[in-house]
Every structure is written in C-alpha cells, then in structure tokens.
Structure 1
Amino acid sequence: MRLFSGLFDYLESVEARDPAARSHWEVLIYPGAWALVLHRVAHWLYGGQLYFLARCVNHFSRFLTAIDIHPGARIGHRFFIDHGFTVIGETAQIGDDVTIYQNVTLGGTSPHTGKAGKRHPTIGDKVVIGSGAQVLGPITVGEGARIGANAVVTRDVAAGATVVGIPAKPVPVDIETAEPREFLPYGTPCNEIADPVLARLCELEREIVRLREEAKARTGVKEAPARSKRA
C-alpha cells in the first residue's frame, strides 16, 4: 500500500506541474518517470557496490529515455524531468519536488575541487531549472530558487532567488510572482525582464520616481506651469 501511495503522490505532483498532462496514465509513459524508476534501481545497485550492474541499468535507461543520470546521484521525492535530454552527474544531490526541463546539465568541475571530491551541484527543495540551463560545480542552489532557460550557473544561488544569463545573475521579481499560489511552469514568469542590467535600471528608475514623489509630498512644493513666450 505504501508503494502505491507513493506512486499516486508522484503522479499527482507531475500533473500539478505539467499543464499538458491530462491523466495519471499519460504521466506513466513520460520518459522522466521511467528514468527516475530506473535510477532508483541503479542507485540501489550502486549502494551495494555493484557498480557494473548499476552502470548497465544506467546505460539502458539512457538508451530508453535519452536521460543520463549517474547511479551515484542522490535524488529526493517527486523529482520531475519534463521532456528529457538531461545529464546529472555522480555527486549531484537533488531535494524534494524539484522540476527540471529539457537539455539541462547538472555537471561537474575538476575532481580536485570541492569537499571530499564533490564536483556536482546540490539542488534544494522545490527548485525549478529552465530548459538548456547548465549548473556546474559543487555549488548549492537554495530552496525554491528558479534558474532561467540557458543560464550558466557556477556560483551558489540563494533560496527563493531567480537567476538568468551567462554567467547567471539574480534578477528582481515582483512580490506577486515571487511566491505564486500555484506552481509556475517553465522556470521564470514571462513578464520578467530577463536582462539583469536592464532590470536593475528599471528598478532604479522606479526608485527615483518614488523618492521624487515623497520629496514633493513633504515640502508641498508644486511645479510652476510653463510660461508661454510673448511675441
């Protein structure tokens, strides 16, 4: 019963995150779902030091789903890979309710860097990683963070932050979109300004307007009407 309960929770979570999913049966044939199931088997074999068998399951999964998850990667509950073509390295750690879109890499850097040889990222709970993003090195992506499409992330990402660009930098997010009541598909809101520099300039412009209005309200000074030139 516990197994079926866990499966039902997983299918429900995928349906909640994928607008295209119309039934549990449809989710059951998703390549991301099969990749996760086969990874659980490969990870169990890897934990028992049956490395060759674990690799065999890994390669079969990659052939079947076009998703390459190293058997050593540690993955939490309700992990969802939408579409596929994703690579996840050996020392990657992924929390609960994480969503990854297509062509994402959780890749490594030099094996001589990081603590105890860890060379792949640690992804917190409820993180969303947009399509084509590259998250590289033994960095930490905080809980609830969002990584925009095609971003290249090589430094830690704060919890709840939205990062975009190459290299990835945080962008300001309106309070209404920072904590959506429901899951926000595709990583970042469509009405956000993706360029961090332009977003910062817009933020400063709004701040200048606000300060001017406050100054006028405090001093009670009104702008004099423009005088017309006499002929």
Structure 2
Amino acid sequence: MLNGLTAYLDSVRARDPAPRSRWEILLYPGVWALGFHRAAHWLFEAHLYFLARLVNHIGRFLTAIDIHPGAKIGKNFFIDHGFTVIGETAEIGDDVTIYQCVTLGGTNPTNGVGGKRHPTIEDNVIIGSGAQVIGPITVGKRARIGANAVVMEDVPEGATMIGMKARSTLVPAEEWAREFLPYGTPCEDAEGNRIDCIEKLEGELHSLRAEIDELKQARTAEAEPETARRSGTDS
C-alpha cells in the first residue's frame, strides 16, 4: 500500500513542477478528493449508498471537488487545484490529468431511465481548465482537451480539441508522442496559429482599405467633369 501511494505521489510530481516533496503533494485537494472517492466507491459497490454519499459530501466540503461515488477511476488520476465535477457513470482510465473547473457531465435521458450518461476518458488524457465534457462519449487515449472547450462528441485517439463547440486541431507527432503536455494544449502551436490569424486579418483589412480608396478616387474622377460642365452652364 505504501509503495502504491509513493508511486502515485511520484506520478503527480512528474506532471506538476510546483511541489518540492511528496509531503507537499499530500496536501493537494485533488489527492484528498481521490482518497475520499476510493472509500466512497467501495461503499457504493457494496450497495451502501447512503454511506457512500456521506463520504462523498465530506470530501466535497473539504476539497471543493465533487466525484460521484459511482464513477470509475483508474490509476494515477490527478486533479490539479480542484473545483471539478465528475458524474456517476463517468469512467476514467490510467494517468489522466484534469485541471481546475472541469465538468465530466451527463445528459438527461429522453426516456427518463438512467444508464450511461457521462463520458469515458481513456488513458493519458489531459483536460484543460474550464473544459466541459458532456454526455456518454469517449475521449480516446492521449487526447488533449483545451481550456474552456465544450466537447459533446467522441474524440479520436491523440486528437487535441479546442473551442466551443470543440473542434479538432492537428498536432505534430513530436507533440503527440510527449509523455506529458501541460494544460492539454500545445501552447507554441496555439500562439503560432493566433499570430497567423492576426496577420491574415491585417492583410485583408489593408486590401479592403486599398479598394475603398480606389473607389473613392474613381468616384471623384467621375464627378469632376460633371461639376465642370455645370459650372460652365451656370456662367
């Protein structure tokens, strides 16, 4: 058990450069929330639903992280900072990282009958802060969900999803193959795309201004003979 805890703390340290020791990681709300969930899930599996909910509420009060006791979570799961909600039928694989203010939410079944309502997150997925992953969809292995993305459809393995509603953006193989990508977004690529978009918009604006100037000059040239003719008639 001690070896398992040590391995888990080391996996968190590998993804977060802030802690100076394992003892510091033990103070993380995400670590405590996972501990409470392990106990609550054990009670839930034993059909002790009230006790499971009680443990869940205590954990939520202390950590500001709400993980339903029914959610299934694999090894080395790390919630960085907190304020996260994970629904009852969510399934999370190994080595998954979630940043703050993420929701793994469900959809309301039209027939009123419960079932698989929440996402399945496969191994090595990273979900950026503020992202909303909604419904019984599957997020493939090593996928990245960018900050504030809203994902409502299956995500292919290795894809990076951005935007609202989220769309896939191509990621170079060297980024995809990295062991860990902080915040789930290739920042260099995102910055480059942003600069390209700004330059493109500036170019289009310059072209439009040039066309407007040409139209003004043409209109002025057409108006000058008419003005001269009228002046001659008046005199």
Residues 197-231 of structure 1: CA distance to partner in whole angstroms, max 9, x if unpaired? 9989xxxxxxxxxxxxxxxxxxxxxxxxxxxxxxx
Q: How does 1:139-154 map to 2 (within 5 A)?
A: 139-154=137-152
For 2:15, the equivalent position in structure 1 comes to: 17
For 1:44, the equivalent position in structure 2 comes to: 42
Q: How does 1:93-108 map to 2 (within 5 A)?
A: 93-108=91-106
For 1:183, the equivalent position in structure 2 comes to: 180
Identical-residue share of aligned pairs (%): 66
TM-score by length of 1: 0.80
Partner amino acid, structure 1, of 2:46? G
| Structure number with higher helix proportion | 2
For 2:59, the equivalent position in structure 1 comes to: 61
How far off is 1:110 after superposition? 1.4
Answer whether contact 1:73 1:91 (CA < 8 A) is retained.
Answer: yes
How far off is 1:175 after superposition? 2.4
How far, CA to CA, are the matches of 2:114 and 2:83 in structure 1?
A: 29
Quote the RMSD (CA, aligned, Å): 2.3
How far, CA to CA, are the matches of 2:40 and 2:154 in structure 1?
A: 29
Identify unmatched segments of 5+ residues in structure 1. 201-231
Specify whether residues 74 and 194 from structure 1 end up closer, same or farther in structure 2 by C-alpha distance, changes over 3 A only. Answer: farther
How far, CA to CA, are the matches of 1:195 and 1:69 in structure 2?
A: 37
For 2:32, the equivalent position in structure 1 comes to: 34
For 1:219, the equivalent position in structure 2 comes to: none
Specify whether residues 95 and 196 from structure 1 end up closer, same or farther in structure 2 by C-alpha distance, changes over 3 A only. Answer: farther
Answer whether contact 1:139 1:154 (CA < 8 A) is retained.
Answer: yes
For 1:87, the equivalent position in structure 2 comes to: 85
Task: Specify the structure having the higher radius of gyration (Cα).
Answer: 2
Answer whether contact 2:142 2:176 (CA < 8 A) is retained.
Answer: no
For 1:173, the equivalent position in structure 2 comes to: 171
For 1:156, the equivalent position in structure 2 comes to: 154
Identify the range of structure 1 (16-25 vs 60-69) with the bigger mean alpha-carbon deviation.
Answer: 16-25
How far, CA to CA, are the matches of 2:110 and 2:192 in structure 1?
A: 34
How far, CA to CA, are the matches of 2:182 and 2:32 in structure 1?
A: 21
How far off is 1:174 after superposition? 2.0
Specify whether residues 195 and 41 from structure 1 end up closer, same or farther in structure 2 by C-alpha distance, changes over 3 A only. Answer: farther
How far off is 1:21 after superposition? 1.7
For 1:126, the equivalent position in structure 2 comes to: 124
SS in 1 for 2:184: coil
How far off is 1:153 after superposition? 0.2
For 1:220, the equivalent position in structure 2 comes to: none
Q: How many residues align?
A: 197
How far, CA to CA, are the matches of 1:13 and 1:59 in structure 2?
A: 27
How far off is 1:116 after superposition? 7.0
